[in-house]
Structure 1
Amino acid sequence: MTAAIQVPGISPLPRWLRLAAAILPVAATAAIGSVATRAEIPGWYASLNKPVFNPPNWVFPVAWTILYTMIAVALWRLLGAMPRTGPSREGWWLALAAFLVQIALNAAWTPVFFTAHAIGAGLIVVALLLVMVLWTIRLTWRFDRLAGWLLVPYAAWVAFATLLNAAILRMN
């Protein structure tokens, strides 16, 4: 087993650009989620049969606000760990690509589940999201361990969301 590569956090990107690049995709994902759920929570979602472990509705925006903040910080740190040259640069690009794919899956789940009312398709999307978050953690870990750790609560929440989505599918 090889040791983790620790790359100095010296990025060729200016701080403001890294900050914008970290915040914008996460904020867009949060906005998509908010728009997709706003009308559906009191109507369609309220009418679904849900398991006893379904949290109260107020828990979701609180949890997601904390998680989205942690996700943006993790992305900001990963962007700051971009190697300038060498073989680790390709690994960094792969970590960034995985990060962006999982953000896209995160943004896709809410409209699939809530707007389209496609509980089964939502389960597929959230399961893929869980796989991508775990892979993102693994890839990010090589470049910034704190960034990887910041994604662990997100992985736990997505694992819970996968279980909840599966239970709702089974019950409806």
Structure 2
Amino acid sequence: MKKWCNIIVPTFICLLIGSTAKYFQSDSLRTWYPYLHKSILSPPNIAFPIAWGIIYLCMGISIGLIFNLKGLQKKSAVFYFCIQLFFNFTWSISFFYYQNPLLGLI
């Protein structure tokens, strides 16, 4: 049972962080993003929440699997995971809230 909790709880946390990022995007998705010059290969807007939901779900499962590991590298894996989760979250703020594609790219 503990192994499942090690997967379910981090997955829920990752999805919560992803949905929190949506708060910073809401105004820009209506007023700024639709007017950007985008490639004709850009997917339709409905694809983005689905894709990001799947990404955050996979991130939660992956950190849960890492929590179930035993070994010396577990601590560093968790550290690097937290860093990438932070950057995934701040990307939404950089790109949408500050409306700065360059900052989002960095």
Q: TM-score, normalised by structure 1?
A: 0.56
Gaps of at least 5 residues in structure 2 are: none
The correspondence of residues 5-154 of structure 1 with structure 2, limited to 5 A, is: 14-15=2-3, 18=6, 19-24=8-13, 26-81=14-69, 83=70, 88-89=71-72, 91-124=73-106
* Residue of structure 2 equivalent to 1:131: none
Would the aligned equivalents of 2:10 and 2:61 in 1 still touch at CA under 8 Å?
no
Would the aligned equivalents of 1:29 and 1:106 in 2 still touch at CA under 8 Å?
no
**1:59 offset after TM fit, Å?**
0.3
**1:33 offset after TM fit, Å?**
2.1
Distance 2:87 2:56 in 1: 14
2:32 aligns to what SS in structure 1?
helix
The amino acid across from 2:46 in the alignment is W
RMSD: 1.6
- Runs of 4+ that moved beyond 6 A: none
Would the aligned equivalents of 2:95 and 2:103 in 1 still touch at CA under 8 Å?
yes
What whole-Å deviation, never above 9, does each CA across 1:26-72 have from its counterpart, x for those lacking one? Answer: 12321232111222112100111111111110000111112221111
What whole-Å deviation, never above 9, does each CA across 1:113-146 have from its counterpart, x for those lacking one? Answer: 000011111100xxxxxxxxxxxxxxxxxxxxxx
**1:21 offset after TM fit, Å?**
3.6
**1:16 offset after TM fit, Å?**
6.7
Q: In percent, how many aligned pairs have the same letter?
A: 23
- Which one has more relative contact order, counting CA pairs under 8 Å at least 6 apart? 2
